[in-house]
């Protein structure tokens, strides 16, 4: 099928899958605060980096309360439930950008629970935790996600087989997967992946917001560019991510933007059904309604993600209950950027196209790479390593 370039005002069709929305009561997600070495300063906006711009006048505490309330009310029903918190210091981290070359395949295949030393808790949810760990035989620093699973050993084997497929996925825009193993008397699966020192976009934009700043449009362009390229790669491997959101987009200490929590198998998803409750408020309308969805569903989620990161708040009204919010997403017009900041027409149109409610008309990630906002970003150099260092105030 020939891909048609995206032009302003002309959304294009896309690709398929299906999901039922669960209505169980949501569970609270608890995220630790960043360590003191990453506590943001209270400097005036004029002291912020050119890549971190002054925010319009608003109550940052109100934004934080809104985000906290929504987080406590809603949980998603798939793989990426855990929000990665900000990291403690650059001195603690280990370079993982060349992870595939440094970690041999036979080492990944033979990972065992007893070979790991826990270093720090990165995130925690109702069904498991994400921990910074050291693989003792190699000294490799990793992130380990531990998830409670169905005790059926046949399900275990199938999950591990399907997770092994992820080791064939290699892209600069997706987090490297190292391997998985059973632990805790076979009641949980440990999934080992690349450790991204800069944390998640969720932690990053909240840090910037506390400093009364906002993330500049040049960085937003690089986020969109990286995520779209990652989604194109995953789609080439027949994977629809299904859970794009700020906490599932990570940044390395070199400023490389990567997608995590991709390629969830049906068996793992079914195993988690009784553990993680609720529905994702980043889902495209067609997914919420239980209709067939295509790879363009990930484009909707990216649009909401970039809007949230741009405005330091979730794009939908904070006063809505979970049921009201789901109805609002499916029945009302999509959100738009506020007029508080001087956003370019290219960014506004990019988000408008991403947030096309009709999944058949919404473009694919590959088509969105042709949008003028992304084309302009691709032609521009942005020092993302400098940006992430300034976000967390890392020093040599």
When mean pLDDT is compared across 125-139, 321-335, 339-353, the lowest value belongs to 125-139
pLDDT tens profile 132-151: 999 999 999 999 999 888 77
- Local structure of 80: helix, strand or coil: coil
Residues forming beta bridges with residue 174, ordered by sequence position: 259
Q: CA–CA distance from 197 to each of 121, 122, 146 (Å)?
A: 13, 11, 19
What angle do the packed helices 296-311 and 345-354 form, to 10 degrees?
140
Residues designated as active site: 243
DSSP 339: S
Average pLDDT across the chain, whole number: 76
pLDDT tens profile 235-274: 998 888 888 999 999 999 999 999 997 644 444 444 444 3
Say how far residue 108 (Cα) sits from the centre of its chain: 24
Say how far residue 134 (Cα) sits from the centre of its chain: 23
State the residue for tokens 């449009």: 217
d(CA 146, CA 75): 17
pLDDT tens profile 206-217: 999 999 999 999
Instruction: Please check whether residue 125 is in contact with residue 81, taking contact to mean a CB–CB distance below 8 angstroms.
Output: yes
pLDDT computed for residue 91 by the predictor = 35
pLDDT computed for residue 147 by the predictor = 84
pLDDT tens profile 215-236: 999 999 999 999 999 999 999 9
Instruction: Please check whether residue 154 is in contact with residue 186, taking contact to mean a CB–CB distance below 8 angstroms.
Output: no
pLDDT computed for residue 220 by the predictor = 99
Residue 25: pLDDT above 50? no
pLDDT computed for residue 151 by the predictor = 74
pLDDT tens profile 148-195: 887 777 877 777 777 877 888 899 999 999 999 989 888 888 999 999
The answer to the question of whether 145 is labelled as a binding residue is yes
pLDDT computed for residue 45 by the predictor = 37
Average confidence (pLDDT) over 194-208: 97
pLDDT computed for residue 107 by the predictor = 54
State the residue for tokens 């195993």: 271
| 164 vs 281, more confident | 281
In the chain, beta strands by DSSP E: 52-54, 116-125, 128-135, 140-148, 177-183, 188-194, 213-215, 249-251, 257-259
State the residue for tokens 């087989």: 161
């Amino acid at each position: 099928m020939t891909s048609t370039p995206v032009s302003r005002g002309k959304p294009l069709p896309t690709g398929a899958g299906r999901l039922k929305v669960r209505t169980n009561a949501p569970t609270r997600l608890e995220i630790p605060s960043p360590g003191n070495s990453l506590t943001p300063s209270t400097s005036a906006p004029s002291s912020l980096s050119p890549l971190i711009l002054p925010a319009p006048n608003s109550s940052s505490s109100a934004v934080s309360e809104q985000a906290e309330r929504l987080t406590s009310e809603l949980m998603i029903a798939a793989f990426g439930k855990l929000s990665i918190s900000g990291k403690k210091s650059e001195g603690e981290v280990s370079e993982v950008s060349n992870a595939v070359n440094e970690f041999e395949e036979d080492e990944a295949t033979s990972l065992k629970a007893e070979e790991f030393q826990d270093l720090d808790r990165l995130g925690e949810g109702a069904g498991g935790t994400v921990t910074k760990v050291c693989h003792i035989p190699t000294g490799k620093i990793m992130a380990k996600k531990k998830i409670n699973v169905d005790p059926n050993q046949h399900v275990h084997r199938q999950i591990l087989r399907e997770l092994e497929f992820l080791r064939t996925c290699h892209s600069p825009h997706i987090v490297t997967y190292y391997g998985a193993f059973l632990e805790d008397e076979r009641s949980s699966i440990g999934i080992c992946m690349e450790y991204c020192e800069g944390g998640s976009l969720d932690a990053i934009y909240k840090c910037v917001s506390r400093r009364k700043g906002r993330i500049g449009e040049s960085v937003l362009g690089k986020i969109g560019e990286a995520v779209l390229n990652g989604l194109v790669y995953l789609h080439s491997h027949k994977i629809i991510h299904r859970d794009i959101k700020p906490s599932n987009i990570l940044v390395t200490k070199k400023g490389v933007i990567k997608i995590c929590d991709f390629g969830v198998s049906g068996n793992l998803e079914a195993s988690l059904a009784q553990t993680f409750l609720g529905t994702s408020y980043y889902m495209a309308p067609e997914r919420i309604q239980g209709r067939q969805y295509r790879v363009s569903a990930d484009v909707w989620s990216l649009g909401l993600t970039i809007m949230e990161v741009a405005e330091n708040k979730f794009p939908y009204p904070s006063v809505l209950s979970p049921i009201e919010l789901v109805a609002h997403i499916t029945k009302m017009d999509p959100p738009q950027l506020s007029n508080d900041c001087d956003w370019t027409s290219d960014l506004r149109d990019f988000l408008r196209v991403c947030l096309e409610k009709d999944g058949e008309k919404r473009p694919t990630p590959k088509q969105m790479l042709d949008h003028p906002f992304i084309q302009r970003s691709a032609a521009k150099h942005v020092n993302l390593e400098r940006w992430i260092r300034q976000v967390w105030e890392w020093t040599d």
